[in-house]
Structure 1
Amino acid sequence: MITKKTTTIIAAFLATIALAGCTTNADKANENLSIAADNFEVQRHIVGVNGITGEYAFEVVGRCSINDQGHQLEVTCRHGENEYRKHMIGLSDNTFYVAEQLGAIDVSVYHTRIIIKPETLLPELELQTGKQ
């Protein structure tokens, strides 16, 4: 027999589960912008600033993905069709950085963006011919 208390507990549990899966439009747009940036679709301007002097410590402009490791900033940029460069920048307690997106890009707030790259799923094969 299900009591009123049991029904209330079950309803509260189901409501908690339903709300946990909800995301806002801003959350979804943010996630999709991050995916786009990691696929080098976002033009960025990244500036490191000395917090004491206010002077620029470094500057990076391009289609770059950012990975903040706390003490080190890893910036991977696309420079050409199949050309990528990774820049590692040491951060200190008095240095901070600002990453500005230079232009708007169209990302959906209604759908999750999933990118599958077949070249990462298939092994790289090397064909050698000749006499053995």
Structure 2
Amino acid sequence: MTKLLAALGAVVIALVLSACSDDARVASQNLSKAADNFEINRRIVFYNGITGEYMLTIEGLCSRDNGSTSTKLAIVCKVGPNEYKKHFLGLSDNVTYFIEQLEPAKANVYHYAVTFKPSVIVPDITVR
């Protein structure tokens, strides 16, 4: 019951805070949420600033892992209905990356997106 109340409180706070945001910020947050839910087709390119060449390109329904650091980047891609791949890449002072959204996506500036996933609230339990 307390988890439900906490979740409802979070929704109310998100709705109140979204009313104070400008349109660009709400659209950006909604696009980021869609990308994190593997709904946005992206291209991630790693570029060597010294040689001027692309080192690696990843394309698909991919999300940047928010736990990445300034020297390590993790990209998670959905490759099937319940299949995912996670790529780890090292960054240096001469290697950078950019993430390109390949197709336009609808983003409603009047609606703030909140996604509840029961599997996150009540995880699967594995007994060994």
Q: Normalising by structure 1, report the TM-score.
A: 0.75
Query: Is 2:21 the partner of 1:23?
Result: yes
Q: Residue type of the partner of 1:40?
A: F
CA distance in 2, matches of 1:122, 1:45: 33
Q: Residue type of the partner of 2:36?
A: D
CA distance in 2, matches of 1:66, 1:123: 22
Measured after TM superposition, the shift of residue 125 of structure 1 is 5.6
- Secondary structure in structure 2 of the residue aligned to 1:28: helix
**In structure 1, what is the equivalent of residue 13 of structure 2?**
none
Q: How does 1:1-132 map to 2 (within 5 A)?
A: 22-67=20-65, 68-124=68-124
- Runs of 5+ in structure 2 lacking a partner? 1-18
Q: Normalising by structure 2, report the TM-score.
A: 0.77
Measured after TM superposition, the shift of residue 110 of structure 1 is 1.2
Moved more, 87-96 or 59-68: 59-68
Q: Give aligned pairs, total.
A: 107
CA distance in 1, matches of 2:24, 2:90: 31
Measured after TM superposition, the shift of residue 66 of structure 1 is 0.8
Over the matched positions of the two proteins, sequence identity in percent amounts to 45
Q: Residue type of the partner of 2:51?
A: T
CA distance in 2, matches of 1:125, 1:91: 35
- Runs of 5+ in structure 1 lacking a partner? 1-20, 127-132
Q: Residue type of the partner of 2:112?
A: T
CA RMSD across the alignment: 1.8
Measured after TM superposition, the shift of residue 120 of structure 1 is 2.0
Shift >6 Å, 4+ stretches: none
Moved more, 114-123 or 26-35: 114-123
Q: Residue type of the partner of 2:44?
A: I
User: Which structure has the larger Rg over C-alpha atoms?
Assistant: 1
